[in-house]
Structure 1
Amino acid sequence: MNSIENKRILLTGATSGIGRSLAKQLLEKGAKLAICGRSSEKMESLLQEVEAYSSQVYSETFSVTDEDANLQFIEAADNFLGGIDILINCAGLNSARGTLNEIKTEELDFMMSVNFRAPFIFMKEVFNRMQSKEIKGTIVNILSTVCLFSNENIGAYTASKVALDGLTKVFRKEARRKGVNVLSVYPGGVDTAFRTADRPDYMSADSVAQAIITTFQYPKDVMPHELVLRPEVEENF
């Protein structure tokens, strides 16, 4: 079995939801992390929670819509970690709901920037750094089951995630030739602040994070490509 201990991991979207759970669990397992998020307050709260592991974590707060900030963070993260073994693109949002005729162009553009363009930048830059150091790493994109089942009133969010899904599938074939595995994770309903109402019948962020981390501990001759996770109550498949 592979071990998480001493793995060098870059994680976006670390201040809330699945990303926050991933950060805490990975640190507890001995990983070394570079994390980012949008909210300074949420980041400070997270860092207080994981204070015992402060020597293992580097953090920055900024919007992933800012390409220069992304590039600067990737460079700083690479320097702090001494190389990147795993990239987890977890930053994402659904900032506009409504039917197609109700969605504003700027709302679609914003979601595409966060949910598609930013992960593209992180994949490209981290992959190139893995190659320069001959690291046979793993790149993980947190997608959504909206890629697998169409739901009304979330067309812009769905479009942004489906775009990333398509890019990920192509990149998986390109990256495998260089020894880098690309994993797509499709969570269904998760009970987080991402939703406007509590859904205790949905998966917890902690459970989803645990399932994702399990894939890092598979035998070395097993390369997972896709992980679909749904709560028992969900029937949209």
Structure 2
Amino acid sequence: MAQDREPRVVVVTGGARRGGMGRAIAEAFLAQGDRVVVSDIGSALRTHPDYEVAPAEDLADAAAELGGEVLTVACDVTDEAQVVELFDRAVAHFGRVDVVVNCAGLAIGLTPVVELALDDWKVNLEVMATGTFLCSREAARRMRAQGDGGRIISIASQAGKTGQPYLAAYSAAKFAVVGLTQSMASELGADGITVNAICPGTIDTPLLAVRGGVYQTFSGLAGRTEDDYRRRLMRQIPAGRFGTPEDVAAAAVYLASPGASFVTGEALNVTGGQEMH
């Protein structure tokens, strides 16, 4: 599309999976004419005995499907050295970094807290709290060195505002993302760097339907079929529908836009009214 600005360089973590929020975010920025670095964990996917992790597509396939100016980089966001390499490669290829969207995430250990395994607790915190910290810190360092501002956007959750049953580890990780967002916004405002979070509600992505995911786990705990659970869940949403990855992508594009230059430290609900706090 035509635009009256220079293309930005946008780094999106967790961006390879078809039907996921990260892929939709990458597509939305590409549609704006931006250059996008799509990162995902690649072939080194975590495994879990009770949770089917839908594999991220091969990054080369993601690049071909997305089109546009795309660089793909395999990166485990919990590994500091890999995060530094991700940003090194982004700068080496495109010359700078303007926008970072922290979208890498998972939901393991959906269980009563008294049954929550320590390993599941740690994985949630490592991927979403530590991973967001490492990528945000590296982004801030690069943006400060560039000297002309930037945008850091992290995908939190409505569960990062209101703790929910059987989501203790996930909620704790997402609360951490919101707190990190506020602290970094306070520190980086003078550098012209805005730092915001997006708090999606029930977004209908493939990860909700995998074995051990939200639909199977919560329908089982409620003693209902998955279809019945979905219908009851939808009735809790004032907008009358589940969200889409494109709803979240639109929020990310807004927070990176000139119109959001005075918006920082926010945790923006994209929930159809399911969360109003």
Contact 2:83 2:138 in 1 (8 A): no
Pairing 1:204–2:207 present: no
For residues 162-189 of structure 1, give each alpha carbon's deviation from its aligned partner in whole angstroms, at most 9, with x where no partner exists. 1121121111100102211111111111
Unaligned ranges ≥5, structure 1: none
The aligned amino acid for 2:251 is A
Pairing 1:46–2:62 present: yes
Pairing 1:61–2:74 present: yes
Residue 147 of structure 1 deviates from its aligned partner by 1.6
Sort the Cα spacing of 1:44 and 1:60 in 2 relative to 1 into closer, same or farther, 3 A. same
The aligned amino acid for 1:101 is V
TM-score (norm. length: structure 2) = 0.77
TM-score (norm. length: structure 1) = 0.89
Select the structure of larger CA radius of gyration.
Answer: 2
> RMSD in angstroms over aligned alpha carbons?
2.2
3-state SS in 2 of match to 1:161: helix
Contact 2:254 2:260 in 1 (8 A): no
Structure-1 residue corresponding to 2:10: 9
Structure-2 residue corresponding to 1:216: 256
Q: How many residues get paired?
A: 232
Pairing 1:173–2:186 present: yes
Pairing 1:72–2:85 present: yes
Sort the Cα spacing of 1:235 and 1:28 in 2 relative to 1 into closer, same or farther, 3 A. closer
Residue 45 of structure 1 deviates from its aligned partner by 3.5
Deviates more, 1:80-89 or 1:40-49: 40-49
Sort the Cα spacing of 1:100 and 1:236 in 2 relative to 1 into closer, same or farther, 3 A. farther
Structure-2 residue corresponding to 1:228: 269
In structure 1, how many angstroms separate the alpha carbons of the residues matched to 2:4 and 2:199? 23
Deviates more, 1:32-41 or 1:142-151: 32-41
Contact 1:11 1:19 in 2 (8 A): yes
Unaligned ranges ≥5, structure 2: 44-55, 210-214, 216-226, 235-240
3-state SS in 2 of match to 1:195: helix
Counting aligned pairs with the same residue, the percent is 25
The aligned amino acid for 1:122 is C
Contact 1:33 1:81 in 2 (8 A): no
Sort the Cα spacing of 1:64 and 1:219 in 2 relative to 1 into closer, same or farther, 3 A. closer
